Amino acid sequence: MAKFISAEGVWDNGNTLVRIMTGFFIFRYGRELFHIKDLLDFLTQSNFPFPVFSGYAAKIIELVGGILLILGFLTRWITPLLIIVMAGVIYTTAKGDIFQGELAFLYILLFAGFFFRGPGKWSLDHWLEARSLRLKDKP
């Protein structure tokens, strides 16, 4: 009971579970890359700058970013790109209103959390960092 009242987390691996699930959902959005015509038409009609480049870039970032989040690899590199994509989603679909584009805004908050807190213990980033420290300590 005292654990629920303390400022410490209840389960250290909870961040990992949230990261993996978020990566899975973003990956699903990124799969629209293979059926992108509707998005390109929407961006063109919305007068979004560079609609073809923007559409492909957003979907590639979502697809690759989802995989990287699931693996916990290059997390602090991909999350700013995903934040930019979600800001673009809010700009185009909700006309910049975060309350109309609340799902995209919630993704921004999740990505910011992964950026600031890191991917967690169960990630390739953590494994590679621990491995490099072990190799550094060896004579």
Check residue 56 and give its pLDDT: 95
Specify the pTM. Answer: 0.88
The residues spanned by each domain of the chain are 15-137
Q: How far is CA 43 from CA 6, 7, 64, 123, 129, in A?
A: 47, 45, 21, 35, 40
Q: What is the pLDDT of residues 2-54, one digit of tens each?
A: 666 666 666 778 889 999 999 999 999 999 889 999 999 999 998 888 999 99
